[in-house]
Amino acid sequence: MSGDHSHGKHATVKLYWVFCVVLCAITFGEWFIFRFREELGVTSTVMVPALIVMSLVKFVMVVGWYMHLRYDHSWLKFIFIGSLGLGGATGIALAILM
């Protein structure tokens, strides 16, 4: 590996604030759905996939932007995405077994 890390232009502070607000909004949405699921009539068949999707969106945002993964080597992307896939597959396998 050489010491040359020619990166694209980094995001602005304003964009990080936008991401911060979006992450907070998603987290609030997760909490809201879980906390008021009975009052809203949300069943677990709707709630669980919704929470999983929101968590995946937050994972991609944090790994892709806050950890600056888009500026790193492509094999790091494979490690994170592979780990996410392996964890998801393990969770599905455990759910099927139970």
What is the residue-level pLDDT of the chain in tens, covering all 98 positions?
A: 444 455 556 778 898 899 899 999 999 999 999 999 999 999 989 999 999 999 989 988 887 777 666 677 778 878 888 888 898 899 889 989 98
The dihedral built from the CA positions of residue 32, 34, 37 and 38, taken in this order, carries a sign that is negative
Cα–Cα distance, 56 to 60 (Å, whole number) = 6
- Judgement on whether residues 17 and 57 belong to the same structural domain of the protein: yes
- Judgement on whether residues 76 and 60 belong to the same structural domain of the protein: no
- Judgement on whether residues 60 and 75 belong to the same structural domain of the protein: no
- Judgement on whether residues 61 and 77 belong to the same structural domain of the protein: no
Q: Which amino acid is at 43?
A: T
| pTM score of the predicted model | 0.68
The rounded radius of gyration (Å) of the Cα atoms in the chain is 17
Residue 2 domain flag: no
Closest CA to 58 of 93, 95, 21, 92: 21
The dihedral built from the CA positions of residue 35, 36, 41 and 46, taken in this order, carries a sign that is negative
- Judgement on whether residues 46 and 91 belong to the same structural domain of the protein: no
> Quick one: tokens of 43?
């069943």
* 10-20 confidence digits (pLDDT tens): 778 898 899 89
- Judgement on whether residues 16 and 51 belong to the same structural domain of the protein: yes
Detail the DSSP E strand segments found in the chain. Answer: none
- Judgement on whether residues 25 and 41 belong to the same structural domain of the protein: yes
User: What is the extent of the structural domain holding 88?
Assistant: 71-98
- Judgement on whether residues 75 and 63 belong to the same structural domain of the protein: no
* C-alpha dihedral (70, 75, 76, 82), degrees to nearest 10: 110
Residue 94 domain flag: yes
